[in-house]
Amino acid sequence: MARLELFGTKSCPYTQEMREWLEFKGTEFVEYDVEDDLAARDLLRSLANGQRTVPILVEDGKVVQVGWQGHGCIISVE
């Protein structure tokens, strides 16, 4: 079974939309808030090569989707 990770923020409405979609599909995933969790922010930075748009969906350590239906929020990864 693939391991899915959702990187996003509470302040980005598209993170919530992606979460709701994953839950609707019955998909198991781990969610990280990169605004509140510095370790998650560092992990995102290493996985996404500096990508600053959330939400980001990662499957087995590889980015498979950036944004939600063509929309996303820009975050600071500093």
**pLDDT single digits (tens) 32-45:** 999 999 999 888 88
CB contact set of 64 (below 8 Å; sequence gap of 6+):
57, 58
**3-state class (DSSP) for residue 30:** strand
- What does pTM read for this prediction? 0.91
The pLDDT value given to residue 32: 95
**Domains, the chain, with CATH or none:** 4-74 (3.40.30.10)
Rounded to whole angstroms, the Cα distance separating 38 from 77 reads: 9
Tokens of 41: 């922010």
Q: What percent of the chain has pLDDT over 70?
A: 95
24 near 72, Cβ under 8 Å? Answer: no
**Is 60 exceeded by the pLDDT of residue 1?**
no
